[in-house]
A and B are shown apart, each in its own frame.
Chain A
């Protein structure tokens, strides 16, 4: 029987707690709202001698990720945390981390990108880096943030994957929202994550290697192709680790979570904290006889296209809630990928996109109920109207 301790934790506290229990070799970080607390609390653990971590205080997020890359190439288990402009400043080196196949774990707090300056939640930062070769896990609440951090270590370090992984929360909504969560004991977390055994650590002086070498036209393509293999191997590993986590600690994790979708005629798909609000909306609509359902996506990279198509194949109309705008004049990133995933179905549901919640604009149960109402109209008329709509913006 595993030890279960209930504790009140914000998302940031939960992620810092997971980091303490994982006890990584190196953390290099630079503070940014609303992710600051994660590494701030963790630096307290370092100062108090509760972890064995080498903490590298750097002068920017670009340097933070660069230091993480060096330490990871050396053979260390490495973690960091950031948000928004910080992730954007890291962007160049995020690609180097994945290109060098370094299993760095990043606690990312989703926040809007400037301009205008804004410190609140949307998914623009994480979505802007969706093609960086990182595994991306979204959390609905503090509990999932904590659990995702612990699983992220195993996913990233699995030799079939060897890709950096970001576990994300929603700025302030989760990062600063206090909730009761179940903690796992230090000992059990240590047992779950195990010891990191890098295949080719740079510090092994008996076996000298070169890391970060130059590729010309004759090798670059092959090395990039390998990253796609790592991403293609990830689903099996993520599924296995999600199940193992569930078997041990009672909370099972997959790629998506379906809520009342079995007989649903209209469905909403979303990521992160909005799933909690949408669940209430579904319950309200169900009590009024509307066959509403919800699809929450936990893993955005790799994108679980087949699973999503399979789950949504019998729904008549779907609204995708995008908490970032692709600014492509063709909807947000989640919409485009879900809509594409449905393309091969013999009979496709109708799909619309709602850009919502930018810069922390609240989304209420009533807003979501309105979306379901529109979906009911669409499913009856068979007409979509505007493909992309903006939810909660003043005109």
Chain B
């Protein structure tokens, strides 16, 4: 399917629906990856509250992982994690990719 032409597109660059940010995968901007360590998690949800990209995945009220399609790797979650042994640590994407 080819992209729509100028005759079909809404005028003025408008996007005529809501919630379209989910379709835009910003995860490939990341140079640092947050890695979730479940056994250290105290389920305070600070990471979920602070995440600017809604990339902390919660299941049944508990943190269960990170949405790497949208996480930009800012590291706020790891910084804010109050657990004595951090439940989120930042690792270099380059190291992980090898």
Contact = CB atoms under 8 A, between A and B. Distances in A.
Majority secondary structure, A binding face: loop
Contacts of B9: 219, 222-223, 226
A158 B21 CA distance: 31
Nearest to B19: A208
Interface residues of B, number: 16
Interface string A330-370: 00000000000000000000000000000000000000000
B1 interface: no
Contact of A226 (B11, B15, B16, B18): B11
A162 B12 contact: yes
B17 A208 contact: yes
Interface in B1-15: 3-6, 9-15
A102 B13 CA distance: 11
A210 B10 CA distance: 11
Contacts of A102: 12
Contacts of A223: 6, 9, 12-13
Interface size class of A (residues with CB under 8 A): 20 to 34
A210 B5 CA distance: 19
B96 to A, nearest CB: 27
Interface of A: 99-102, 162, 199-200, 207-213, 215, 218-219, 221-223, 225-226, 229-230
24 contacts: A99-B12, A100-B13, A101-B11, A207-B16, A208-B17, A208-B18, A209-B16, A210-B15, A211-B13, A213-B14, A213-B15, A218-B3, A219-B3, A219-B9, A221-B6, A222-B6, A222-B9, A223-B6, A223-B9, A226-B6, A226-B11, A226-B12, A229-B6, A230-B11
